Structure 1
Amino acid sequence: MSIKIDARGLACPKPVINTKKELDNIEEGIVVTTVDNETAKENILKLAKSLNCEARIVDEKENLISIEIKKGNNVVVQKEESELEYTCVFISSDKMGLGNDELGQVLIKGFIYTLTESKPYPKHILLVNGGVKLSAENEATIENLKILEDAGVEILSCGTCLDYYNLKEKLQVGSVTNMYTIVETLKNASNTISI
């Protein structure tokens, strides 16, 4: 069995996620992913290594790179005991990282999307300061936050922050929270990821 994935032109992390989905759907076989940049190639090779799969470049010319991943009995299967893990994702900006704001917005969009594709999901997502814009203004992140909310993730946006940015009436996903709940949620989480 051989599955072909055309991941040309797809932004990170979609080439990896699309490849992992196909690998998850088969017990054994070959998945060939075609990408058009070096970063995507390296990310696909890292995915294969993390899954203990054989991977090799089968074609590389100009801007097209095809990577063959062979899945068999050697694959490490991750057990998922629960759809939710007592992890809290704390997001304080509508951008990810420091530097270029436009790049930061692309990165945060990619981060939220990747959360929808990576289980177990966190139990909570806390949005504070500029992070509340992700649940009220940013259509791309709102769509993915709704996917997480539908799966049981509690999306909490700081009420003071929503008021400050005049966004309380525009909240489209999750609920309004307060500082006490934010502190308690952070204290009770077994793991916190801060963005």
Structure 2
Amino acid sequence: MKSLDVRGMACPLPVVSVKRALESAEGELRVLLDDGAPRENVKRFVQGRGYQVQEEQIEGGFAFTITGAGSGSAKREAAPTERSGATVMLIGSDRLGDGAEELGRLLMKNFIITLLDMSELPDRIFFVNSGVLLAAQGSEVIEALEELGNRGVEVLSCGICLDFYKKKELLAAGGVTNMFTIAESMLQARSVVRL
């Protein structure tokens, strides 16, 4: 069994390292990783590709034993050649447009609430930079984001960004993700809407 230690690595290196190891591994892969975002991101990544994960708490973090053949999307020879059809929205600020901050915040709030009235919704909304403030406690759009989540929209915030703004413990809507997942989703999307 191949082993990999990704403890102490900054996002998105744990996911990238596991991806590379899965591309070259045959059989089981044992991964040592930190709790929190690395654990969540790696687990979501491998399970999303059809692998099974057995978790074990160890001193200093967690150990994953990853088994199964996966869906093939992690294999180099099965790299996607066409877009998946997903619509991805990337929100990089808690404001919409340039100009007065108060107006920009009002416009962003109205935009997100207006999404609830659209007949076609994005498949995923990624929040980066100050955009993560929209998914944290105190935001005026939490209810709208929760409703979007209930309608099948994946609402995900960048873990590094949440850490930077000291909002990780205050995330109120959706989940935490990493730059690898954001980049991969954008590159495989049918369309990307950037705000």
TM (norm. structure 2) is 0.55
TM (norm. structure 1) is 0.55
**Residue type at the aligned position of 1:86:** A
2:98 corresponds to = 98
**Residue type at the aligned position of 2:151:** A
2:180 corresponds to = 180
Q: Deviations over 1:150-182 (max 9, x none)?
A: 001000100000000000000011110001001
2:125 aligned with 1:125: yes
Return the offset for 1:86. Answer: 1.9
1:157 corresponds to = 157
Distance in structure 2 (CA, Å) of the matches to 1:152 and 1:184? 19
Distance in structure 2 (CA, Å) of the matches to 1:164 and 1:122? 26
- Secondary structure of the structure 2 residue equivalent to 1:173: coil
- Which 4+ runs in 1 deviate beyond 3 A? none
Return the offset for 1:87. Answer: 1.0
Q: Deviations over 1:4-25 (max 9, x none)?
A: xxxxxxxxxxxxxxxxxxxxxx
2:146 aligned with 1:146: yes
Give the 5 Å matches for 1:31-180: 86-180=86-180
**Residue type at the aligned position of 1:177:** T
Q: Which has the higher mean CA deviation after the structures are superposed, 158-167 or 180-189?
A: 180-189
Q: Compute the RMSD of aligned alpha carbons.
A: 1.1
Count of residues in Structure 1 that have an aligned counterpart in Structure 2: 111
Return the offset for 1:188. Answer: 1.3
Greater share of strand: 1
Instruction: Extract unaligned runs of 5+ from structure 1.
Output: 1-84
Percent identity between the two aligned chains = 45
- Secondary structure of the structure 2 residue equivalent to 1:156: strand
Distance in structure 2 (CA, Å) of the matches to 1:152 and 1:138? 23
Distance in structure 1 (CA, Å) of the matches to 2:119 and 2:88? 14
Return the offset for 1:141. Answer: 1.1
Distance in structure 1 (CA, Å) of the matches to 2:101 and 2:109? 12
Return the offset for 1:138. Answer: 4.3
2:57 corresponds to = none
Instruction: Extract unaligned runs of 5+ from structure 2.
Output: 1-84
**Higher relative contact order (CA closer than 8 Å, sequence separation 6+):** 2
